[in-house]
Amino acid sequence: MNETMPIDPEKVEPVKSVGVPMPLVDGPEKVSGKANYTADFMELDALVGRILRSPVAHAEILSIDTAAAEALPGVEALVTGADFVGQFGVLPIARTEWPIARDRVRYRGEPIAAVAAIDVETAQKALDLIEFEYTELPAYFTADDAIAEGVTPLHEKRPNNVERHVEYDLGEVDKGFEDADLIREGTYDCAEVCQVQTEPHAALAAYDGERDQLTVHASTQVPYYVHLMLEQTLGMPKSKIRVIKPHIGGGFGSRTECLHVELVASALARKCNGTVRIILSREETFVTHRGRPEQKTTLKIGMSKDGRITAVDTTTTQHGGAYAGYGTVTILYSGSMVFALYDIQNARYNGYRVLTNTPPCGAFRGHGTVNVRFAFESLMDDMATELGLDPFEVRRKNLLKAPTFTANDLMVNSYGLPECLDIVEKASGWKDRKGKLEPYRGLGIACSHYVSGASKPVNWTGEPHATVNIKLDFDGSLTILTGAPEIGQGSSTILTQCVAEVLGLDVTRIRILTSDSLVTPKDNGAYSSRVTYMVGNAAIDAATNLKAILTEAAARKMDVQPEDVECLGEVYRAGSQDQGMTFEEVVIAALEGTGTITARGNFDTIPESWGGDKYRGAAIGGSMAFSYAAQVVEIAIDPDTADIHVEKVWVAHDCGKALNPLSVEGQIEGSVWMGMGQAMTEETRYHNGLGITGNMLDYRVPTIIESPPIETHIVESIDPHGPFGAKEAGEASLAGFLPALTNAIADALDIRVSELPITPDRLMEIMEDKKKEASKKVDA
Amino acid sequence: MKNFISMTLNGRSRDDAVPGNMLLVDFLRETVGMTGTKIGCDGGECGCCTVLIDGKPRHACLTLAASCDGTEVETIESLETGGRLSAIQRGFHEKLGAQCGFCTPGMVMAAEGLLRENANPNEDEIRQGMAANICRCTGYVKIIESVQAAAEEIASKEDAA
């Protein structure tokens, strides 16, 4: 039997990978249970780490007496805030959080001590022995309470509990309103929601005292930030730290920043010179949530009779918990994205990020854009109805024309929204069915968009945005080395496809190793939909560089010029009559004299994409490209129970070139569905700061039973800078569901829902109120 | 107090001494070392730990290991034959029923239980059969397609045989 089949150069063609629907490269281990997540590393000597959490929402810490706990046999280490040398946080200017509280606790559930013990029982017993003395301070659970006169500030540097006030005034807003034929204002409220990724947070930290080296496995989207924060909080040199991100059970922004779990596990491991595993419970994962903040938006839109928007004025307040986290970025995103979906020149924005005594919020999928999109698309629909215009037509009246820059200087080179609108209008049968459905049924439309990576990184280092290495060795195997975290979004598959496409090889020839700081190049992480765009481009660059090396080697061997060499993937040849060299032969030629080859590729954003400087923070929102989506939601409401049944969703998403149409569909379906959860059932609730929805039943995640059929259409407005023209696919379609649903409710019941989630009991109340109003009118 | 139990785990019989309060999921993961069965919640919420006990899908986090004496327990590790994916595993892989993969072992075992009971389920029956399992990635669209594809593959193999 021949080891390799003889290759007929007549028949050899470069293999197509891009644009081909393809299962995930790491699918087999996921479906067979072989994929190891952080909790699956069963280190025999691992100690059990447990965290003691604050029972009060706001207090001065008087003392934490750990003597009895430390004396308990089986307790190997105990740490408090005193064991850390620095604070952590996302923005270099707002690192205000200690891994374990010092001096003050600011929310219920904030860590106040942690132990590592030989087993769970001992660890729990030790926590029970810790004496915590404190003086309670006034605590604030709503934005209004937190910013009232004479409040106690949560942080000294924020005397009125406003973490950030963002303000801008673009164009001529007052004149815009003067020019309007119709001005309407509405207030919209979205509850706090949580990512509820299926894998609870976990960390495994191993400290090697002999070498002063720390190895951390962490369930994170940002291993590089974890690395930086370990250095910062433990005072260890970066070079002594190794961070590994194993398989991750979903992110959705829940671990887009370093969390205390990784830092605490590491501090414990160092203290006991051993290995410590902390696996948070689901309830603790809710406390550590970094979800989407509660947000109240008052929006005013001016519109001409034909539906052109003449001015927009947005005031919005988020209460985001006790620490800054991503908060400043979230409130900036709300401002930069609220109007930039459309061609609007006159826009005013006042955004307030408020500190409250609840667990800190963060960067939930669709970061900052979702709740203001709900407000915008709701009011736009009401105004269309009032002006007698079709909701599709109103949106079409306000479309951008790419290439362009928005009023806040966001660079838009590709804009597939018009096509998205056409597709869902047709697919849903809108023209024939809208307004003609049976009673209690409705159709609603909304649009949404999102960035393809933030053009300015949070940590400015002067390095390229993304770097990918490809290793090629004697065996002809190609290994992609990337720090880009695969978190289930399929990034490893996409990067493999990009490399395969450039080299014309089948994806099965290529392996990928991700997110181990020992061997993979640094990467900023999996957030703001940056990986496909930025790391994809870096992968293409690396593969192109590798191809040049191989082509040169083939040319040398065949004694021709490199430009005369044709790369067919498995064969390199000079001219169509040439027998050529097999890929293996080219590899042997390329390794002569150099040995193992590592080809590097980089990607950087261009300054035009940085978002301008018309107001402080205008860089947030700046991106190389934006994805666009439109969706129609059809519902049926039970008049007796107010139960809303989503019959069907038609969604069209402009993701540029769909590198892998199968995984693009998966991303869009997941986004729409997650939007449905926020719109209909999901809500993180607290009682005096105590989480009361810390499980997946009280925090009602939609099950397969009520999840609708989703008809997904992919629109490919090829982006000039995207990898093979690709853009974002995994976030934009979330935001549109919320207003599409409430617009459908308006269609069905003539009721404007402005508070989410719209649970059956809430809708029932509104329906009852409406009936009473109607009967009053009849009586009168 | 330890309980002595004998069970068949993935086709192999074994005897163990387990504490009376030990959950089956902890027994599988910590004692046996089979980590394919996942823990996604604090008990009975998510279905990530679904295994088959005497052929029926059960939450391993709501089952005491001691109660499994004399039973046949099957986990995700049992499904591959000859190093190849089972029809259901292949369905979830090829139809993208798994994204992050954390709920997948439980989903696959729930589907295994369902298809043994009902080889040709319609969409509603698939929804009913998988209702105890939460996925946060897929919106369930491709999970339904995965189970349908698996049912078709199993049926076509049986036709051929």
Task: State residue A5's pLDDT score.
Answer: 55
Task: State residue A6's pLDDT score.
Answer: 57
Half-sphere exposure of A509 (CA within 13 A, CB side): 23
The answer to whether residue A205 scores a pLDDT higher than 70 is: yes
For A107-129, the pLDDT digits (tens) are 999 999 999 999 999 999 999 99
The answer to whether residue A640 scores a pLDDT higher than 90 is: yes
Look at residues A15, A1, A26 and name the one whose alpha carbon lies nearest to residue A512: A26
What are the structure tokens assigned to A173, written together? 């807003």
Task: State residue A1's pLDDT score.
Answer: 38
**A687 close to A109: Cβ distance less than 8 angstroms:** no
A695 min Cα distance to partner chain B (Å): 7
User: Which residues of B are less than 8 Å from A29 in CB distance?
Assistant: 101
CB atoms within 10 A of CB B5: 20
The answer to whether residue A3 scores a pLDDT higher than 70 is: no
Q: Please give the single-letter amino acid code of residue B161.
A: A
**A485 close to A526: Cβ distance less than 8 angstroms:** yes
| Average pLDDT of the segment spanning A537-548 | 98
Chain B residue closest to A247 (CA)? Answer: B100
For A375-386, the pLDDT digits (tens) are 999 999 999 999
Provide the β-strand partners of residue A441.
A636
**A605 close to A454: Cβ distance less than 8 angstroms:** no
**A446 close to A631: Cβ distance less than 8 angstroms:** yes
Q: How many helices (H) and strands (E) does chain B have?
A: 5, 5
Rounded to whole angstroms, the Cα distance separating A546 from A472 reads 9
Contact A35 B85 (CB under 8 A): no
For A465-487, the pLDDT digits (tens) are 999 999 999 999 899 999 999 99
B30 — contact with chain A (CB < 8 Å)? yes
Closest by Cβ to B103, choosing from A24, A198, A670: A198
Exposed, middle or buried, A90 (CB in 10 Å: 0-12/13-18/19+)? buried
Task: State residue A27's pLDDT score.
Answer: 98
Q: Please give the single-letter amino acid code of residue A438.
A: E
Contact B142 A665 (CB under 8 A): yes
Contact B133 A23 (CB under 8 A): no
Q: What is the DSSP string of A249-305?
A: S--TTTTSS--HHHHHHHHHHHHHTSEEEEE--HHHHHHT---BPEEEEEEEEEE-T
Chain A residue closest to B30 (CA)? Answer: A42
For A733-763, the pLDDT digits (tens) are 999 999 999 999 999 999 999 999 999 999 9
Provide the β-strand partners of residue A113.
A52
The answer to whether residue A4 scores a pLDDT higher than 60 is: no
Task: State residue A93's pLDDT score.
Answer: 82
CB pairs under 8 A between A and B: 175
For A55-75, the pLDDT digits (tens) are 999 999 999 999 999 999 999
Describe the strand order of the beta sheet including A626-637 as a list of residue ranges: A441-451, A626-637, A644-654, A710-715
**A570 close to A582: Cβ distance less than 8 angstroms:** yes
Write the CA distances from A709 to A115, A477, A647, integer angstroms: 47, 41, 7
For A397-408, the pLDDT digits (tens) are 999 999 999 999
Cis peptide before A403 (omega within 30 of 0): yes
Rounded to whole angstroms, the Cα distance separating B58 from B51 reads 5
Distance spanning both ends of chain A, measured CA to CA: 95
B39 — contact with chain A (CB < 8 Å)? yes
For B47-63, the pLDDT digits (tens) are 999 999 999 999 999 99
Write the CA distances from A41 to A46, A89, A275, A281, integer angstroms: 9, 27, 11, 17
**A631 close to A691: Cβ distance less than 8 angstroms:** no
Task: State residue A7's pLDDT score.
Answer: 62
The answer to whether residue A621 scores a pLDDT higher than 50 is: yes
Contact B139 A674 (CB under 8 A): yes
Task: State residue A8's pLDDT score.
Answer: 67
**A527 close to A253: Cβ distance less than 8 angstroms:** yes
Longest dimension (CA), chain A: 98
Q: Please give the single-letter amino acid code of residue A661.
A: P
Closest by Cβ to A670, choosing from B39, B126, B139: B139
The answer to whether residue A323 scores a pLDDT higher than 60 is: yes
Contact B98 A197 (CB under 8 A): no
A43 dihedral zone (left: phi>0; alpha: psi -120 to 50; beta) = beta
Look at residues A94, A92, A107 and name the one whose alpha carbon lies nearest to residue A154: A107
| Average pLDDT of the segment spanning A159-167 | 97
In chain A, what percentage of residues exceed pLDDT 90? 94
User: Which residues of B are less than 8 Å from A46 in CB distance?
Assistant: none
B112 min Cα distance to partner chain A (Å): 12
C-alpha angle A466/A470/A471, rounded to 5°? 145
Contact B141 A710 (CB under 8 A): yes
| Average pLDDT of the segment spanning A245-272 | 98
Rounded to whole angstroms, the Cα distance separating A352 from A355 reads 10
* Domain annotation for chain A: domains and CATH numbers: 45-137+206-250+255-287 (3.90.1170.50), 294-456+610-772 (3.30.365.10), 461-604 (3.30.365.10)
- Length of chain B as a residue count: 161
Rounded to whole angstroms, the Cα distance separating A277 from B39 reads 15
Look at residues A421, A519, A425 and name the one whose alpha carbon lies nearest to residue A469: A519
Q: What is the DSSP string of A516-572?
A: BTTTSPP---S-TT-IIIIIHHHHHHHHHHHHHHHHHHHHHHHTS-GGG-EE-SSEE
What are the structure tokens assigned to A495, written together? 């990067």
Contact B141 A707 (CB under 8 A): yes
B79 min Cα distance to partner chain A (Å): 8
Question: Going by C-beta distance under 8 Å and a sequence separation of 6 or more, which residues neighbour residue A17?
Answer: A496, A497, A498, A500, A501, A506, A507
User: Which residues of A are less than 8 Å from B139 in CB distance?
Assistant: 669-670, 672-674, 676, 707, 710
Question: Going by C-beta distance under 8 Å and a sequence separation of 6 or more, which residues neighbour residue A103?
Answer: A60, A61, A81
Helix (H, G, I), strand (E, B) or coil at A665: helix
Task: State residue A468's pLDDT score.
Answer: 98
A120 min Cα distance to partner chain B (Å): 12
Chain A residue closest to B105 (CA)? Answer: A33
Rounded to whole angstroms, the Cα distance separating B130 from A609 reads 45
| Average pLDDT of the segment spanning A490-494 | 98
Distance spanning both ends of chain B, measured CA to CA: 51
Closest by Cβ to A704, choosing from B80, B94, B143: B143
Write the CA distances from A461 to A86, A244, A465, integer angstroms: 20, 22, 9
The answer to whether residue A84 scores a pLDDT higher than 70 is: yes
Rounded to whole angstroms, the Cα distance separating B141 from B149 reads 13
Chain B residue closest to A699 (CA)? Answer: B45
- At A361, is the pLDDT very low, low, confident or very high (cuts 50, 70, 90)? very high
**A180 close to A255: Cβ distance less than 8 angstroms:** no
The answer to whether residue A448 scores a pLDDT higher than 50 is: yes
B138 — contact with chain A (CB < 8 Å)? yes
Chain B, 89 to 128: residues with Cβ < 8 Å from chain A are: 89-90, 92-105, 108, 126-128
Cis peptide before A9 (omega within 30 of 0): no
Q: Please give the single-letter amino acid code of residue A40.
A: D
Backbone phi, psi, residue A253, to 5°: 95, -5
Rounded to whole angstroms, the Cα distance separating A576 from A592 reads 26
Write the CA distances from A483 to A244, A319, A422, A689, integer angstroms: 10, 33, 39, 37
Task: State residue A700's pLDDT score.
Answer: 96
For A13-50, the pLDDT digits (tens) are 999 999 999 999 999 999 999 999 999 998 889 999 99
Look at residues A751, A711, A678, A681 and name the one whose alpha carbon lies nearest to residue A381: A751
Q: How many helices (H) and strands (E) does chain A have?
A: 19, 31
The answer to whether residue A780 scores a pLDDT higher than 80 is: no
A289 min Cα distance to partner chain B (Å): 14
Rounded to whole angstroms, the Cα distance separating A287 from A200 reads 11
For B6-40, the pLDDT digits (tens) are 999 999 999 999 999 999 999 999 999 999 999 99
Question: Going by C-beta distance under 8 Å and a sequence separation of 6 or more, which residues neighbour residue A629?
Answer: A420, A447, A448, A449, A651, A652, A653, A654, A668, A732, A733, A736
User: Which residues of B are less than 8 Å from A705 in CB distance?
Assistant: 127-128, 131
Rounded to whole angstroms, the Cα distance separating A116 from A126 reads 9
- At A461, is the pLDDT very low, low, confident or very high (cuts 50, 70, 90)? confident
DSSP conformational letter for A39: G
Look at residues A660, A651, A659, A657 and name the one whose alpha carbon lies nearest to residue A731: A651
| Average pLDDT of the segment spanning A676-694 | 98
- At A2, is the pLDDT very low, low, confident or very high (cuts 50, 70, 90)? very low
Q: b/e for A550-571, b at 16 or more Cβ within 10 A?
A: bbbbbbebbeeeeeebbbbbbb
B25 — contact with chain A (CB < 8 Å)? no
Closest by Cβ to A488, choosing from B101, B130, B133: B101
Helix (H, G, I), strand (E, B) or coil at A357: coil
Question: Going by C-beta distance under 8 Å and a sequence separation of 6 or more, which residues neighbour residue B98?
Answer: A24, A27, A30, A31, B92, B104, B107, B138
**A294 close to A192: Cβ distance less than 8 angstroms:** yes
B53 — contact with chain A (CB < 8 Å)? no
Exposed, middle or buried, A210 (CB in 10 Å: 0-12/13-18/19+)? exposed
* Domain annotation for chain B: domains and CATH numbers: 2-78 (3.10.20.30), 87-160 (1.10.150.120)
**A125 close to A708: Cβ distance less than 8 angstroms:** no
